[in-house]
Amino acid sequence: MAAPRTFSRSQRGPIVTGMLAFVLILVVLQLWLLTATMNAYLGGDDSLVWPAALASVACFLLNAGLLRYLRRMEKTRA
Amino acid sequence: MATPIPERESISLPPDGRPMRDQPAWRRDFPIDWPLDHDVERRDFVKFLTLTSFAFVVGQFWITGQSWLRGRALPPGAQRIASTNDLQVGGSLVFEYPARHDTCVLVRVAEADYVAFSQKCTHLSCAVIPKPEEGVFHCPCHEGLFDLRTGRVLAGPPPRPLPRIAIEIQGTDIYAVGVETSMI
Question: For residue range A17-67, what is the model confidence (pLDDT) as tens digits?
Answer: 899 999 999 999 999 999 999 988 887 788 899 999 999 999 999 999 999
pLDDT at A74 over 80: no
Nearest to A63 among B35, B49, B59 (CB): B49
The interface residues of chain A toward chain B in range 44-63, judged by CB-CB distance below 8 A, are: 44-46, 49-50, 52-53, 56-57, 59-60, 63
- A20/B48 Cα distance (integer angstroms): 11
**pLDDT at res. B96:** 93
Q: Which amino acid, residue B136?
A: V
What are the CA-CA distances from residue A2 to residues A5, A70, A71, A72, A76 (Å)?
9, 16, 15, 12, 13
Average of pLDDT values for B154-176? 92
Multiple choice CATH, B79-180, 2.102.10.10, 3.30.930.10, 3.90.245.10, 2.40.50.140: 2.102.10.10
A56 versus B19: which is more confidently predicted? A56
**In the predicted model, is pLDDT for residue B18 greater than 60?**
yes
Lowest mean pLDDT among A24-28, B2-6, B118-122, B171-175: B2-6
User: B51 at the A interface (CB within 8 A)?
Assistant: no
Inter-chain residue contact A56 with B60, CB threshold 8 Å: yes
Q: What is the pLDDT of residue B31?
A: 63
pLDDT greater than 70 at residue B8:
no
Q: Is it the case that residue A7 has pLDDT exceeding 90?
A: no
Per the prediction, chain B carries an average pLDDT of 86
What are phi and psi for residue A20, nearest 5 degrees? -60, -45
Cβ B33 vs Cβ B11: under 8 Å? yes
Range name among A42-51, B3-12, B20-29, B97-106 with the lowest pLDDT average? B3-12
| Residues of chain A contacting residue B152, judged by C-beta atoms under 8 Å apart | none
What is the residue type of B60? Q
- Contact between chains at B5 and A39 (C-beta distance less than 8 A): no
For residue B18, give how far its alpha carbon lies from the nearest alpha carbon of chain A (Å). Answer: 26
CA-CA distance, B159 to B180, in Å (whole number)?
A: 16
Would the pLDDT of B129 be above 60? yes
A23 vs B63: CB contact, 8 Å cut-off?
no
Q: Which domain holds residue A69?
A: 23-75
Higher pLDDT, B18 or B92: B92
Query: Is the per-residue pLDDT at B183 higher than 70?
Result: no
* Mean pLDDT, residues B125-145: 95
Any domain includes A10: no
pLDDT tier for residue B74 given thresholds of 50, 70 and 90? confident
State whether residue B5 sits within 8 Å of chain A by CB: yes
pLDDT at B37: 56
Q: Name the residue in chain B with its Cα closest to that of A30.
A: B56
Instruction: Specify the number of domains making up chain A.
Output: 1
pLDDT tops 70 at residue B182: no
- Domain chopping of chain B, boundaries: 8-72, 79-180
- Ordered strands of the B129-131 beta sheet: B129-131, B136-139, B144-147, B153-155
- Considering only alpha carbons, which residue of chain A is nearest residue B6? A75
A3 — contact with chain B (CB < 8 Å)? yes
Q: What is the ipTM of this complex?
A: 0.88
Higher pLDDT pick, A16 / B34 = A16
Measure in Å the smallest separation between the Cα of A17 and chain B Cα atoms: 8
Please tell me which residue, A40 or B30, carries the higher pLDDT value: A40
- State how far Cα B139 lies from the chain centre: 18
Res B14: pLDDT:
73
Close Cβ partners of B35 (under 8 Å, ≥ 6 residues apart): A9
- Residue A75 DSSP SS3: helix
Contact A60 B50 (CB under 8 A): yes
Question: What is the distance between the alpha carbons of residues B184 and B171, in angstroms, rounded to a whole number?
Answer: 33
CA distance A1 to chain B (A): 15
Q: What local confidence, expressed as pLDDT, does residue B20 receive?
A: 75
3-state SS assignment for residue B95: strand
CB contact under 8 A, A46 and B42: no
Query: Which residues from A are below 8 Å from B3, CB to CB?
Result: 76-77
* Contact assessment for residue A77 and residue A4, using Cβ atoms and an 8 Å cutoff: no
